[in-house]
Amino acid sequence: MKFIPCEDCALRRLALFKQFTAPELGFVRALKSNQVDVPARRVIIEPGRFGGQLYTLYAGWAYRYKLTPNGQRQIVDVLLPGSLIGLQQLMLGDSESGVESLTPVTLCVLTGRHIDELFHQHSQLSEAMVFALMEDQRRADRRMALVAKQNGPERLAYFLLELVDRLAALGLGHDAMSYFPLQRRHLADLLGLSETHVSRSMQELRRDDLAAIASNSLIIRNRSVMTTLSGYTLATRQHPRLLL
């Protein structure tokens, strides 16, 4: 992808993200040092190793994962455009989790300025970053608290509704249909189910005419029933997310 200056970033025009003042945009422009395209199924950050790079996912899908003691993969979250990659490792100095591209992705490389300057010179940006991290943690906690008590179809319905709402906020679909590159193995890793259980859960949602996944597309056919089934609630967002 052709290098895109920060002021021409299409993501910045979305209501989802904080609108910058001129000095803030100048700082972020100086923070971006490069832009790279990465193919699908490529490790961006490897668990246990961290090269000090901070990225913004500009286009494409990725996921954050951890490895269990026996070497199995557990997907922690799906990363969509606007997600920061490497912040935890940069701030804490470790790489307990890894990140892998799910589709071809474009990454903005944020090494032009030291991230500490954001906290010292731009308090509103650092506040927006904290709120974004808290929101992501709250979203993950809410999902984990529910899925631990849910059966397969309920877990899958919850995740699909959460994901389609995140995509709609990015202009990448709407609340009834979106692009969906996740495969059964990804859903199994994410939801703590076997691939067979994922298939059966998807068949049940399709049989009841609630949702369908076909040809890399997700279709939500009966949102109200899926909401009742899964206990999903749309989070009310009060703070625009930070986009570096």
**What is d(CA 54, CA 31) in angstroms, rounded to the nearest whole number?**
10
Could you check whether 6-136 and 151-230 share the same CATH topology? no
Q: What is the pLDDT of residue 106?
A: 97
Q: What is the pLDDT of residue 157?
A: 95
Q: What is the pLDDT of residue 236?
A: 65
**What is d(CA 130, CA 70) in angstroms, rounded to the nearest whole number?**
33
CATH 2.40.50.140 fits 6-136, yes or no: no
Q: How many residues does the chain have?
A: 244
Q: What is the pLDDT of residue 194?
A: 92
Q: What is the pLDDT of residue 196?
A: 96
Q: What is the pLDDT of residue 51?
A: 67
Cβ atoms of 77 and 117 closer than 8 Å = no
C-alpha dihedral (50, 55, 61, 62), degrees to nearest 10 = 10
Cβ atoms of 138 and 178 closer than 8 Å = no
Sequential pLDDT tens for the chain (244 residues)? 888 888 899 999 998 898 888 988 988 888 888 999 999 999 998 887 766 788 999 999 999 998 888 878 889 899 999 999 988 777 666 677 899 999 999 999 988 667 777 777 888 888 888 888 888 888 878 777 777 788 999 999 999 999 999 999 999 987 778 999 999 999 999 998 999 999 999 999 999 999 999 889 999 999 999 999 999 887 666 678 888 8
Residues 6+ apart with CB under 8 A from 190: 63, 75, 78, 159, 182
Q: What is the pLDDT of residue 132?
A: 82
SS (H, E, C) the chain: CCCCCHHHCHHHHCCCECCCCHHHHHHHHHHCCEEEEECCCCEEECCCCCCCCCEEEEECCEEEEEECCCCCEEEEEEECCCCEECHHHHHHCCCCCEEEECCCEEEEECCCCCCHHHHHHCHHHHHHHHHHHHHHHHHHHHHHHHHCCCCHHHHHHHHHHHHHHHHHHCCCECCCEEECCCCHHHHHHHHCCCHHHHHHHHHHHHHCCCEEEECCEEEECCHHHHHHHHCCCCCCCCCCECCC
Render pLDDT for 58-108 as a digit per residue (tens, 0 to 9): 999 999 998 888 878 889 899 999 999 988 777 666 677 899 999 999 999
Q: What is the pLDDT of residue 72?
A: 81
Q: What is the pLDDT of residue 241?
A: 87
Q: What is the pLDDT of residue 162?
A: 92
CATH 3.90.1300.10 fits 151-230, yes or no: no
Cβ atoms of 45 and 109 closer than 8 Å = no
Domain limits of the chain?
6-136, 151-230
Cβ atoms of 161 and 176 closer than 8 Å = no
**What is d(CA 112, CA 125) in angstroms, rounded to the nearest whole number?**
17
